[in-house]
Amino acid sequence: MDADAVKLLAAGLAIGLGAIGPGIGIGLLGGKAMEAIGRNPEATGRIQTNMILAIAFAEAVAIYALVVAVILKFV
C-alpha cells in the first residue's frame, strides 16, 4: 500500500467515523425535543431554541472531522 492510498483511507475513515456521532446525536436531540414539545406545548419556544443550539454544537464536531479529513487528504 502506498502513501497516497493510506492518506485517502485515513481521510475517509476520519469523515465517516466523525459524522456518525453527530448524526446519532442530532437524531436523538430532535426526537427528545419533539417528545418534550408533545408533553408541554407551552414551552415550544424554549425547547426549540435549546434544541437548535445543541444541534449547532453537535454539527460543529462533524465540521471538525471534515476539516481533519481534508487536511489528511491534501497534506
pLDDT tens digits for 52-62?
999 999 999 99
Please report how the helices 44-74 and 3-39 are oriented relative to each other, as an axis angle in degrees rounded to 10: 180
For residue 67, what pLDDT band results from cuts at 50, 70 and 90?
very high
Cβ neighbourhood burial of 69 (10 Å; 0-12, 13-18, 19+)? buried
| Cell matching residue 60 | 460543529
Report all structural domains of the chain as residue ranges with CATH numbers, in order of start: 3-74 (1.20.20.10)
